[in-house]
Amino acid sequence: FDMFVLAFVERLFRPTFKKDDFVLGKKLGEGAFGVVYRGSLSQKPSSKEGDLVLKKATEYGAVEIWMNERVRRACASSCADFIYGFLESSSKKGGEYWLIWRFEGESTLYDLMQSKEFPYNVETMILGEVQALPKGLEREDRIIQTIMRQILFALDGLHSTGIVHRDIKPQNIIFSEGSRQFKIIDLGAAADLRVGINYIPKEFLLDPRYTAPEQYIMSTQTPSAPSAPVATALSPVLWQMNLPDRFDIYSTGLIFMQMAFPSLRTDSGLIQFNRQLKRCDYDLVAWRKSVQPRAGPELRKGFELLDLDGGIGWELLTSMVRYKARQRTSAKAALAHPYFDREGLLALSFMQ
Ligand code: ADP
Ligand code: MG
């Protein structure tokens, strides 16, 4: 009840926009379902409304607007700050959906991971200029731990709201320069299971490099979208039965691997890893046994990092990347894992 009343009241009092209100700038991305631009308001009512990101989307834009509005009300800090979404009807049939966010920053986790400086470049962005520990595995581990904690925190917000993202990858994790933390973007493939929005998986939207082996977040026997009130009553049970959030956990585990193993940060490296893991029936321990004897320096470095503190990082990783969704940890349980008990980056900055 109150969720819908709140949404309605909020709509009444928020400013509304149309396409003419914006000037488009540089193109930031282009996919099969939309184009993303940097931009601004043509007449700035106040200086703080300066930098924006605008997405022009096809028919899936309607779901993406819905997801963003839900996130803004339920777990705003998990995702990029959403401002407004609307349908711009054109003379051609259909029209196009526009989505507007605040410009959070220049770099995604993908951009940051492509640098030779990773993860030290992230340390600088989170803390400013500090040099507490000498460069080395321990310091890298603290930075990676802090990034993982921020991603899992944002993901836990989404999952607690009933949203599965389904496209978690470094390209969809933006560093917010204002809050100095990572946030999730791109809810274009997301599913809200509590109200049955986008219930049937659109598997063609998924990125094969990061998808969990089950591909579908719900078993194919699950009936198609029930009407909203029924779905609200039923879906917590379905959620328990199918654990659809574990789909995102698998993808997040792959990001953890890419941060630990420099050789997996390239596309070809990740694809090769996926092939090897599949050959090991998605058993990470078996994969490790098969590659360790002939591991080069980059692989060895990753194992060393994950083996710090009695292998607590490796333990967390193997609880995320598992074949069976049911055996994977949840975002909330992962945050309580001893891997995160050790001091992270903030403690490091206080040591100054
Ligand atoms: P798609 O992947 O469908 O093209 P995204 O929503 O992922 O669309 O956006 C594409 C790119 O635009 C992102 O990878 C990121 O570089 C940039 N971007 C998206 N939203 C923001 C934002 N709020 N702030 C800064 N950059 C953004
Ligand atoms: Mg994207």
Angle between helices 284-291 and 267-279 (to 10 degrees): 110
Q: Which of 81, 141, 167, 245 is catalytic?
A: 167
Ligand 1 pocket test target in 108, 174, 202 with most atoms within 8 Å of CB: 174
pLDDT band at 339 (very low <50, low <70, confident <90, very high): very high
Atom of ligand 1 nearest to the CA of 28: 12
CB of residue 178 inside a 6 A radius of ligand 1: no
Q: What is the pTM of this model?
A: 0.89
Nearest CA among 346, 142, 334 for reference residue 252: 334
Whole-number Å distance between alpha carbons of 38 and 2 = 35
Q: Does the structure's ipTM exceed the value 0.90?
A: yes
CB of residue 29 inside a 6 A radius of ligand 1: yes
CB of residue 186 inside a 6 A radius of ligand 1: yes
User: Is the CB of residue 150 less than 8 Å from the CB of residue 182?
Assistant: yes
Q: In this structure, how many other beta carbons lie within 10 angstroms of the beta carbon of residue 274?
A: 18
Which residues in 177-301 belong to E strands, given as ranges?
Answer: 181-184, 191-192
Atom of ligand 1 nearest to the CA of 35: 4
pLDDT, tens only, 42-75: 876 554 556 999 999 988 899 899 999 999 999 9
Peptide bond into 338 cis (omega under 30): no
pLDDT, tens only, 270-329: 999 999 999 999 999 999 999 999 999 999 999 999 999 999 999 999 999 999 999 999
pLDDT, tens only, 134-150: 889 999 999 999 999 99
CB of residue 172 inside a 6 A radius of ligand 1: yes
**Can 283 be counted among the known catalytic residues?**
no
Output the CA 165–ligand 2 centroid distance in Å: 11
Element (H, E) at 254: helix 246-260
DSSP-based three-state secondary structure for 347 = helix
CB of residue 101 inside a 6 A radius of ligand 1: yes
CA 127 to chain centroid, in Å, comes to 22
